[in-house]
Amino acid sequence: MHRFTGKSALVTGAGSGLGRAIALALAAEGASVVVAGRTAAPLDETVGLIAAAGGTAAAVTVDVTDSDRLRDLVSESVTRFGGLDIAVNNAGILRGRAPAGEVSEEDWDAVLRTNVTGVWLAMKHEIAHMKENGGGAIVNISSSLGAHLRIPNLAAYITSKAAVSALTRAAALDHIHQGVRINVVSPGSAVAPMSLQPGETEAERAERVRTENPLGRLAEAEEVAAAVLYLASPAAGSVVGTDLVIDSGASA
Protein backbone atom coordinates (compact mmCIF):
# COMPACT_ATOMS: atom_id res chain seq x y z
CA MET A 1 0.00 0.00 0.00
CA HIS A 2 1.11 3.55 -0.75
CA ARG A 3 -1.65 5.61 0.82
CA PHE A 4 0.57 8.64 1.36
CA THR A 5 2.50 9.00 -1.87
CA GLY A 6 2.98 12.70 -2.52
CA LYS A 7 2.07 13.63 1.06
CA SER A 8 4.28 15.27 3.66
CA ALA A 9 4.21 14.35 7.33
CA LEU A 10 5.66 15.50 10.63
CA VAL A 11 6.23 13.22 13.64
CA THR A 12 7.43 14.54 17.01
CA GLY A 13 9.24 12.29 19.45
CA ALA A 14 10.47 10.28 16.45
CA GLY A 15 13.90 9.32 17.75
CA SER A 16 12.77 6.03 19.29
CA GLY A 17 9.84 3.84 20.27
CA LEU A 18 6.39 4.59 18.91
CA GLY A 19 7.44 7.81 17.22
CA ARG A 20 10.11 6.03 15.21
CA ALA A 21 7.71 3.22 14.27
CA ILE A 22 5.12 5.76 13.09
CA ALA A 23 7.68 7.67 11.04
CA LEU A 24 8.93 4.44 9.42
CA ALA A 25 5.39 3.36 8.61
CA LEU A 26 4.46 6.70 7.04
CA ALA A 27 7.61 6.69 4.92
CA ALA A 28 7.03 3.08 3.86
CA GLU A 29 3.67 4.16 2.43
CA GLY A 30 5.13 7.03 0.43
CA ALA A 31 5.09 10.06 2.73
CA SER A 32 8.05 12.40 3.00
CA VAL A 33 8.58 12.63 6.75
CA VAL A 34 10.13 15.23 9.04
CA VAL A 35 11.22 13.47 12.21
CA ALA A 36 11.48 15.81 15.19
CA GLY A 37 12.76 15.53 18.73
CA ARG A 38 15.12 17.03 21.27
CA THR A 39 18.26 15.02 20.43
CA ALA A 40 19.90 14.88 17.02
CA ALA A 41 21.59 11.46 17.11
CA PRO A 42 18.49 9.24 17.48
CA LEU A 43 16.64 11.36 14.91
CA ASP A 44 19.49 10.84 12.46
CA GLU A 45 19.23 7.11 13.12
CA THR A 46 15.52 7.19 12.28
CA VAL A 47 16.28 9.06 9.06
CA GLY A 48 18.92 6.47 8.22
CA LEU A 49 16.46 3.62 8.72
CA ILE A 50 13.92 5.33 6.48
CA ALA A 51 16.53 6.01 3.79
CA ALA A 52 17.77 2.41 3.92
CA ALA A 53 14.22 1.25 3.22
CA GLY A 54 13.94 3.59 0.24
CA GLY A 55 11.98 6.35 1.93
CA THR A 56 12.45 10.10 2.28
CA ALA A 57 12.96 11.85 5.61
CA ALA A 58 14.72 14.74 7.31
CA ALA A 59 15.55 15.35 10.95
CA VAL A 60 14.83 18.57 12.85
CA THR A 61 15.64 19.11 16.53
CA VAL A 62 12.94 20.77 18.58
CA ASP A 63 11.73 21.14 22.16
CA VAL A 64 7.94 20.91 22.08
CA THR A 65 7.64 23.30 25.02
CA ASP A 66 9.12 26.10 22.84
CA SER A 67 6.34 27.73 20.80
CA ASP A 68 8.69 29.68 18.52
CA ARG A 69 10.67 26.55 17.73
CA LEU A 70 7.48 24.63 16.93
CA ARG A 71 6.38 27.39 14.58
CA ASP A 72 9.78 27.12 12.90
CA LEU A 73 9.40 23.33 12.75
CA VAL A 74 6.19 23.61 10.78
CA SER A 75 7.81 26.17 8.49
CA GLU A 76 10.85 23.92 7.96
CA SER A 77 8.60 20.95 7.21
CA VAL A 78 6.73 22.95 4.56
CA THR A 79 9.97 24.24 3.06
CA ARG A 80 11.60 20.81 2.88
CA PHE A 81 8.71 18.83 1.44
CA GLY A 82 6.33 21.38 -0.02
CA GLY A 83 3.55 21.27 2.54
CA LEU A 84 2.21 19.62 5.68
CA ASP A 85 -0.56 17.09 5.17
CA ILE A 86 -0.17 14.93 8.29
CA ALA A 87 1.09 15.71 11.78
CA VAL A 88 1.59 13.17 14.55
CA ASN A 89 2.20 14.70 17.97
CA ASN A 90 3.89 11.91 19.86
CA ALA A 91 6.52 13.58 22.07
CA GLY A 92 6.01 12.97 25.77
CA ILE A 93 7.77 12.21 29.05
CA LEU A 94 7.07 10.14 32.14
CA ARG A 95 8.32 11.56 35.44
CA GLY A 96 7.15 11.73 39.03
CA ARG A 97 6.56 8.10 40.00
CA ALA A 98 5.03 8.78 43.42
CA PRO A 99 1.66 9.11 45.14
CA ALA A 100 -0.17 12.22 43.95
CA GLY A 101 0.49 14.14 47.17
CA GLU A 102 4.22 13.42 46.96
CA VAL A 103 4.94 14.36 43.34
CA SER A 104 7.41 17.23 43.23
CA GLU A 105 6.26 20.49 41.73
CA GLU A 106 9.19 20.30 39.32
CA ASP A 107 8.10 16.89 38.00
CA TRP A 108 4.44 17.94 37.80
CA ASP A 109 5.27 21.06 35.83
CA ALA A 110 7.65 19.22 33.48
CA VAL A 111 5.14 16.48 32.64
CA LEU A 112 2.20 18.83 32.09
CA ARG A 113 4.31 21.30 30.12
CA THR A 114 5.64 18.63 27.76
CA ASN A 115 2.70 16.27 27.46
CA VAL A 116 -0.20 18.73 27.37
CA THR A 117 1.08 22.19 26.53
CA GLY A 118 3.53 20.70 24.04
CA VAL A 119 0.72 18.96 22.17
CA TRP A 120 -1.42 22.10 22.23
CA LEU A 121 1.42 24.28 20.96
CA ALA A 122 2.25 21.82 18.19
CA MET A 123 -1.39 21.68 17.10
CA LYS A 124 -1.65 25.46 17.25
CA HIS A 125 1.07 25.87 14.61
CA GLU A 126 0.04 22.83 12.56
CA ILE A 127 -3.57 24.01 12.40
CA ALA A 128 -2.49 27.52 11.44
CA HIS A 129 -0.79 26.12 8.35
CA MET A 130 -3.33 23.45 7.47
CA LYS A 131 -6.43 25.63 7.60
CA GLU A 132 -4.87 28.03 5.10
CA ASN A 133 -3.59 25.31 2.78
CA GLY A 134 -6.37 22.87 2.08
CA GLY A 135 -6.62 21.10 5.43
CA GLY A 136 -4.87 18.07 6.83
CA ALA A 137 -4.94 15.31 9.44
CA ILE A 138 -3.53 15.48 12.96
CA VAL A 139 -3.14 12.44 15.18
CA ASN A 140 -2.12 12.97 18.79
CA ILE A 141 -0.65 10.19 20.91
CA SER A 142 -2.12 9.90 24.38
CA SER A 143 -2.23 6.76 26.56
CA SER A 144 -4.78 4.32 27.89
CA LEU A 145 -3.51 5.56 31.26
CA GLY A 146 -5.57 8.68 31.67
CA ALA A 147 -9.09 8.86 30.30
CA HIS A 148 -9.43 5.07 30.21
CA LEU A 149 -7.38 3.52 33.02
CA ARG A 150 -5.64 4.55 36.22
CA ILE A 151 -2.89 2.86 38.25
CA PRO A 152 -1.14 4.05 41.42
CA ASN A 153 1.81 6.43 41.57
CA LEU A 154 1.55 8.01 38.12
CA ALA A 155 -0.75 10.96 38.83
CA ALA A 156 1.14 13.52 36.76
CA TYR A 157 1.39 11.30 33.69
CA ILE A 158 -2.20 10.08 33.98
CA THR A 159 -3.49 13.64 34.35
CA SER A 160 -1.50 14.79 31.34
CA LYS A 161 -2.69 12.00 29.09
CA ALA A 162 -6.34 12.40 30.11
CA ALA A 163 -5.93 16.05 29.16
CA VAL A 164 -4.49 15.12 25.75
CA SER A 165 -7.53 12.96 25.04
CA ALA A 166 -9.92 15.76 26.03
CA LEU A 167 -7.90 18.44 24.22
CA THR A 168 -7.92 16.38 21.03
CA ARG A 169 -11.67 15.96 21.02
CA ALA A 170 -12.24 19.64 21.75
CA ALA A 171 -9.85 20.72 18.99
CA ALA A 172 -11.45 18.27 16.58
CA LEU A 173 -14.80 20.01 16.93
CA ASP A 174 -13.24 23.46 16.71
CA HIS A 175 -11.36 22.89 13.48
CA ILE A 176 -13.10 20.24 11.36
CA HIS A 177 -15.01 22.98 9.53
CA GLN A 178 -11.61 24.36 8.47
CA GLY A 179 -10.65 21.04 6.91
CA VAL A 180 -8.39 19.93 9.77
CA ARG A 181 -9.33 16.44 10.97
CA ILE A 182 -8.01 15.60 14.44
CA ASN A 183 -8.01 12.29 16.33
CA VAL A 184 -6.03 10.61 19.11
CA VAL A 185 -4.54 7.16 19.66
CA SER A 186 -4.23 5.92 23.26
CA PRO A 187 -1.78 3.01 23.50
CA GLY A 188 -1.34 0.83 26.53
CA SER A 189 1.82 -1.15 27.16
CA ALA A 190 3.68 -1.44 23.87
CA VAL A 191 7.11 -2.58 22.78
CA ALA A 192 8.74 0.79 23.48
CA PRO A 193 11.15 2.08 26.12
CA MET A 194 8.52 4.05 28.05
CA SER A 195 6.62 0.88 28.97
CA LEU A 196 9.56 -0.43 31.00
CA GLN A 197 9.27 0.14 34.74
CA PRO A 198 12.38 1.39 36.58
CA GLY A 199 15.01 -1.38 36.58
CA GLU A 200 12.80 -3.76 34.61
CA THR A 201 14.18 -5.95 31.83
CA GLU A 202 12.29 -6.63 28.64
CA ALA A 203 11.74 -10.25 29.74
CA GLU A 204 10.35 -9.09 33.08
CA ARG A 205 8.09 -6.64 31.29
CA ALA A 206 6.75 -9.38 29.05
CA GLU A 207 5.96 -11.57 32.06
CA ARG A 208 4.27 -8.71 33.90
CA VAL A 209 2.12 -7.83 30.91
CA ARG A 210 1.25 -11.49 30.34
CA THR A 211 -0.75 -11.43 33.58
CA GLU A 212 -1.92 -7.81 33.43
CA ASN A 213 -4.12 -7.70 30.36
CA PRO A 214 -6.56 -10.00 28.59
CA LEU A 215 -4.52 -10.39 25.40
CA GLY A 216 -1.51 -11.43 27.43
CA ARG A 217 1.13 -9.55 25.45
CA LEU A 218 2.47 -6.12 24.62
CA ALA A 219 1.17 -4.32 21.59
CA GLU A 220 3.79 -4.13 18.88
CA ALA A 221 4.92 -0.62 17.97
CA GLU A 222 3.91 -1.41 14.39
CA GLU A 223 0.34 -2.13 15.54
CA VAL A 224 0.10 1.31 17.09
CA ALA A 225 1.62 2.83 13.95
CA ALA A 226 -1.00 1.06 11.82
CA ALA A 227 -3.77 2.71 13.84
CA VAL A 228 -2.16 6.13 13.40
CA LEU A 229 -1.86 5.61 9.66
CA TYR A 230 -5.52 4.61 9.41
CA LEU A 231 -6.62 7.79 11.20
CA ALA A 232 -4.36 9.89 8.97
CA SER A 233 -5.61 8.23 5.78
CA PRO A 234 -8.54 9.06 3.46
CA ALA A 235 -10.23 5.86 4.67
CA ALA A 236 -10.88 7.66 7.97
CA GLY A 237 -12.31 10.72 6.26
CA SER A 238 -15.39 10.80 8.48
CA VAL A 239 -13.54 9.92 11.70
CA VAL A 240 -13.37 13.09 13.79
CA GLY A 241 -12.50 13.39 17.49
CA THR A 242 -12.09 9.65 18.01
CA ASP A 243 -9.93 8.30 20.85
CA LEU A 244 -8.68 4.92 19.60
CA VAL A 245 -7.48 2.74 22.51
CA ILE A 246 -4.87 0.05 21.83
CA ASP A 247 -4.13 -1.61 25.16
CA SER A 248 -4.64 -5.35 24.73
CA GLY A 249 -7.98 -5.12 26.50
CA ALA A 250 -6.61 -3.70 29.77
CA SER A 251 -9.22 -0.95 29.97
CA ALA A 252 -12.08 -2.96 28.48
pLDDT tens track for 79-92: 999 999 999 999 99
Q: What pLDDT, on a 0 to 100 scale, did the predictor assign at position 192?
A: 67
User: pLDDT tens digits, residue range 213-231?
Assistant: 888 888 889 999 999 999 9
| Catalytic residue, candidates 7, 130, 157, 175 | 157
Q: Is 157 a catalytic residue?
A: yes
**pLDDT tens figures, 129-157:** 999 999 999 999 999 999 999 999 999 99
Threshold 0.75, pTM exceeds: yes
d(CA 139, CA 12): 11
Percent of the chain with pLDDT over 90: 84
More confident site: 194 or 160: 160
Classify 8-246 by CATH class. Answer: alpha beta
Q: How far is CA 223 from the centre of its chain?
A: 13
Q: Where are the domains of the chain?
A: 8-246
